[in-house]
Amino acid sequence: MFSLNGVDASAPSNEKNKTSPEEGRILDSFSSLTFTRDERLREVEEALVFLGRLTGTAFRHGIPLDLPLPLESTWKAIVEECTSESIRMNEIDGLAAKQHEGRPGRSALLKWQQRMLNSFVEGLSNVIPVEILTILTGEELRDIICGNPDIDVDLLKRVVEYEGFEATDSVVEYFWETLREFTSSERKKFLQFVWARNRLPMKESDFEAPFKIQRDSSEENKDKALPSASTCFFSLSLPQYSNKETLKEKLLFAINNVATMETDFQTNAAEINEGYRAI
Using DSSP's 3-state secondary structure scheme, residue 271 falls into: helix
Distance CA 166, CA 248 (A): 19
Residue 82: active-site member: no
Q: Rounded to an integer, what distance in angstroms lies between the CA atom of residue 148 and that of residue 199?
A: 6
Helices 108-125, 39-60: crossing angle, 10 deg rounding:
50
φ/ψ of residue 232, rounded to 5? -65, -30
Kindly write down the DSSP assignment for every residue of 51-119, as one continuous string.
HHHHHHHHHHTT--------IIIIIHHHTT----HHHHHHHH-HHHHHHHTT-SS--HHHHHHHHHHHH
Integer Cα distance of 48 and 121 in angstroms: 9
- φ, ψ dihedrals at 86, nearest 5°: -65, -40
Q: Using CA atoms, how far apart are residues 133 and 128, in angstroms rounded to an integer?
A: 9
Q: Read off φ and ψ for residue 131, nearest 5 degrees.
A: -60, -30
Catalytic residue among 26, 209, 232, 261: 232
Alpha-helix runs per DSSP H in the chain: 13-16, 21-31, 39-60, 76-78, 85-92, 94-100, 108-125, 138-146, 153-158, 170-181, 184-195, 244-257, 261-274
Catalytic residues, by residue number, are 232
